Amino acid sequence: MTSFRDLHQKGNPFTLINVWDKGSAQVMAALGAQALATSSSAHGFTLGRPDQGHVSRDESLAHAQDILSATDLPVSGDFENGFGHDPETCAETVRLSAEIGLAGICIEDESLPDGGAYEFDLAVERVKAASSAARACKRDFFFVARADGMMNGRYDIDEAIRRLKAFETAGADGLYAPLPPTLDDLKRICAETSVPVNVLAAGPWTKFSRAELAATGVARISLGSAFARTTYRTIVDAGQQILTGDFKAMSNALPGDEKDALLAQGAKN
């Protein structure tokens, strides 16, 4: 099996499938996924909580262990801001993640749950500490540093690229600035950095094909919470119909035997 690190090839991206429970992990493994990731938003939904700093590190690690136990695929953790503001907390999150068997994690540069981007120097120090911890792990561990402030209106593309370049210098294995304004901006991110870049296939970015995204130079395509939210749309739309007395939405349900076969096919050996 190709290692998680080796899946990251600039211009030849793999799709990292963000799942939210053992069942979704096993089904995606059966369908041919090469690697899985948790989703902080999707995990929060299973607990009845919103995204952005409302799930603890212990809960997130336990959830990641559930996903790891479901299939033989490598799993990356979507671990928000690293569950703390200071660099050492980020480093400890890396160490704990490697100990439970994760192949890597990503950490954002935004303060949670209150919001707001970390000041530049602190953001870089956090990445430096996490990257150093990743290098010290007994297993190969792929650490991705995220510049989320652009997506959330905290700073512009120029500042995002400044941060990403500094994160690379600080030792990050991969970089991620979700939802840049344009395809040209994504090309610029890839051109001005050397390590693998992740792109989020969500919102307006779902209109681009894998081939179009590959042409920008990205090495990884993730789904974030978008994949889980497609199921929420089904829940809401079908639920609204059901509560009016119309049950036709149930006619397109996945047959039970097909579901069970996929679960068995994708399960950990």
- Give the C-alpha separation, 230 to 237, whole Å: 11
Model confidence at 1, pLDDT cuts 50, 70, 90, reads: low
- Side-chain-side CA neighbours of residue 39 (13 Å): 24
The parent domain of residue 11 ranges over 5-266
Structure tokens at 84: 């703390």
SS (H, E, C) 127-182: HHHHHHHHHHCCCCCEEEEECCCCCCCCCCHHHHHHHHHHHHHCCCCEEECCCCCC
Q: Which residue has the tokens 């497609």?
A: 230
What is the pLDDT at residue 54?
81
Q: Chain-wide mean pLDDT for the chain?
A: 96
pLDDT at 92 over 90: yes
pTM score, whole prediction: 0.95
Q: What is the CATH number of the domain that holds 170?
A: 3.20.20.60
What is the helix (H) or strand (E) element at residue 57, kind and residue range? helix 57-70
Instruction: Read off the pLDDT of residues 175-209 as tens digits, 9 standing for 90 and up.
Output: 999 999 999 999 999 999 999 999 999 999 999 99
Total number of domains in the chain: 1
Percentage of the chain beyond pLDDT 70 is 99
Q: For 90-104, what is the mean pLDDT?
A: 98
**In this predicted structure, what is the pLDDT of residue 243?**
97
pLDDT tens, 239-259? 999 999 999 999 989 999 999
Give tens-digit pLDDT for 44-69: 999 998 777 689 999 999 999 999 99
Helix, strand counts (H, E) of the chain: 10, 8
